[in-house]
Structures are given as C-alpha cells and as structure tokens.
C-alpha cells in the first residue's frame, strides 16, 4: 500500500517538480544567495553598487534568458516610438537596477543612513502625520523601494508593510533579515488569509499601511493595466480602495527613483480619500491605475516588474 502510494507520487510530474525545486534547486540557489549576501556586506556602498551593475546584465544573459526576452518583447510593445538601440539601453539599465537593488539588501541598513534622499511634496506626508488619521501608502517597485520605510517611520508613522513572500525560503529569510537590520521598528505583514484582519485592526487604531499596487499574482503583473483588461478584484489595489472606503483612510501614492548610487528621490502624489459607493470605488481604481501607469512609463528602466509583465 505504502509502496503504491510512493510510486504514484514519483510518477506525478507536478510532485516531482515541486520536490526537486524545494530540496535541490532552492537550497542550491539559496546557498549562493547567502554567500553573496554576506560577502557583499564587507564592501563599501559604491563597490557594492558596481558589483550589482555588473551582475545584472550578466545574470540576464545566462540565468534569466526567458525573462530577458520578455523584457525585450514588452519594450517593443510599450515603446514603439524608440529604436531597438534605445530599447536595449532601457533593458540594460533595468537589469542593472534590479541587481543593484538586490545587492543593496546586504547593506540596506548602511544605505538607509548614508543615502541622500530628496522628497518632492513632502508636506503631503507631514500633514497626514499631524492629523493622526489612518493612512494607506501605495507604491511601485522602482528605484530601491525599501528606503521609503525609514523615511515614513522617521516622520512618526507606525506602518505595517504588506509583502508577498518569495518562493525560495532562503531568499525570503535574507530579505526579512535585511529589512530588520535597516530598522528594528519595521513591522512586516505577510500576505495570508490572516493579513486582512491585521490590516483592519491597524487602520481602526488610526495607523498606516504600506502596500505595493504593481502586484504580481498568478504569473501576471495586474497593475498598471497598460491597455489590458484584467480583473483586479481580490488584489492589492482593490483592497486599498475598499479599506480606504471603510475606514475613511487617506490614500497617499509615493514613488522612489534612483538618481545615482547614493542619491534617491521620492515623489509624493496628492493624497485622496475614497467615499463610499461603487462608482467612487471604480473611479479610485482608475485613478490609482493612471498614477501608476504614468510613473512606470516614465521609469521603465527602474521598474522591477518589467521582466514579469506579460503583454
């Protein structure tokens, strides 16, 4: 009986694929990530950045061939106004920024203290902090998006940071440790069936949430839509709008851009509230999509999701 059960499992392609990844591939890549992560902590911030800029295009060529081809196809659709050379330049810079951001996880605590950050429309955030009302910050994965955590906490917010755990458990542990080193007051909230209750309680206590709206789910980036007609119910952006309606929370879009190795800019878009009603909900969804789409299209070379987008 047990033998037949084991044979059935062995002959199940999906079961084999899962276990090969879990017991062989993930530990292999996890060991390499650990080695790289803790070795990079001994480098200066500028040297760390140089390593990242070198590794990005190299990894795209040899490890992420399918993703690199996807970026090439996406850029041909999104930027038909550019010639191939210009699109390849965006692609090259995107891989550089991704790898540099990943390398920066090793010294995120040092970078957050030494980086020069300029803020556009900072008064929007300061005014929200003084009101002591519930706030939902929404963001995209551009530049080094992790740096905004320290910026918000330094202004007096007590945000919960919603995150989707990466598949590789070793890489997930690296990311959590790096964020904790950056700031011991950071509160991470893993996306799970229990996350909604925690978010509701936090907003009811007039605190803040931090949610990415360029969400990757079911092998697709759901927002920005970029001309696609995709269902966005039960996604981050729909949760943002519904929570904003229910708790009368202020929604504040906040974007990050890498200017140079130690220089970043943060742009705060005008805060808004969402009154109750289905029409108001749809208008808010359209507004967030428009803001995100505008930001992403202006910063494709720094958008982490470009290689996961399927047009």
Q: What does the pLDDT read at residue 106?
A: 93
Q: What does the pLDDT read at residue 233?
A: 85
Q: What does the pLDDT read at residue 182?
A: 82
Give me the half-sphere count of Cα atoms (radius 13 Å) on the Cβ side of residue 175.
17
158 Cβ contact partners less than 8 Å away, ≥ 6 residues apart = 185, 187, 207, 208
Q: What's the rounded Cα separation, in Å, for the pair 161 and 184?
A: 13
Q: What does the pLDDT read at residue 234?
A: 86
Q: What's the rounded Cα separation, in Å, for the pair 128 and 26?
A: 42
pLDDT in tens, 172-202: 888 888 888 887 777 888 888 889 999 999 9
Q: What does the pLDDT read at residue 176?
A: 87
Q: What does the pLDDT read at residue 6?
A: 53
DSSP output for 63-83: T-HHHHHHHHHHHHHH-TTS-
* Phi-psi region at 179: left, alpha or beta (left = phi > 0; alpha = psi -120 to 50): alpha
Question: Which residues of the chain are modeled with pLDDT < 70?
Answer: 1-11
Query: Alpha helix (H) ranges present in 147-277?
Result: 148-154, 169-182, 195-204, 236-247
Instruction: Strand 159-163: give its sheet, edge to edge.
Output: 116-120, 263-268, 250-260, 135-139, 208-212, 159-163, 187-190
Listed by start position, the domains of the chain span: 2-108, 116-305
């Amino acid at each position: 009986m047990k033998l037949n059960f084991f044979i059935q499992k062995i002959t199940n392609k999906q079961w084999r694929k899962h276990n090969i990844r879990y017991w062989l591939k993930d530990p292999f890549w996890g060991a390499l990530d650990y080695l790289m992560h803790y070795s990079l902590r001994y480098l200066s911030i500028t040297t760390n950045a140089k390593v990242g800029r070198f590794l990005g295009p190299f990894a795209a060529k040899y490890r992420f061939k399918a993703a690199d081809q996807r970026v090439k196809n996406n850029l041909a659709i999104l930027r038909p106004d550019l010639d191939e050379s210009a699109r390849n330049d965006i692609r090259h810079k995107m891989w550089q920024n991704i790898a540099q951001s990943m390398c920066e996880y090793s010294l995120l605590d040092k970078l957050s203290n030494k980086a020069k950050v300029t803020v556009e429309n900072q008064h929007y955030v300061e005014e929200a902090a003084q009101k002591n009302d519930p706030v939902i910050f929404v963001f995209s994965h551009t530049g080094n998006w992790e740096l905004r955590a320290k910026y918000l906490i330094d202004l007096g917010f007590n945000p919960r940071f919603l995150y989707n755990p990466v598949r590789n458990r070793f890489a997930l542990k690296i990311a959590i440790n790096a964020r904790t080193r950056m700031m011991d007051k950071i509160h991470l909230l893993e996306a799970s069936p229990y996350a909604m209750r925690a978010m509701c309680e936090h907003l009811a206590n007039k605190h803040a949430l931090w949610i990415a709206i360029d969400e990757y789910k079911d092998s697709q980036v759901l927002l920005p839509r970029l001309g696609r007609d995709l269902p966005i119910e039960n996604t981050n952006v729909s949760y943002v709008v519904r929570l904003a309606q229910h708790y009368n929370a202020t929604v504040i879009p906040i974007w990050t851009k890498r200017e140079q190795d130690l220089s970043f800019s943060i742009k705060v878009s005008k805060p808004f509230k969402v009154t109750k009603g289905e029409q108001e909900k749809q208008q808010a969804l359209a507004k967030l999509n428009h803001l995100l789409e505008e930001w992403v299209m202006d910063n494709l070379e720094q958008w982490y999701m470009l290689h996961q987008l399927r047009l």
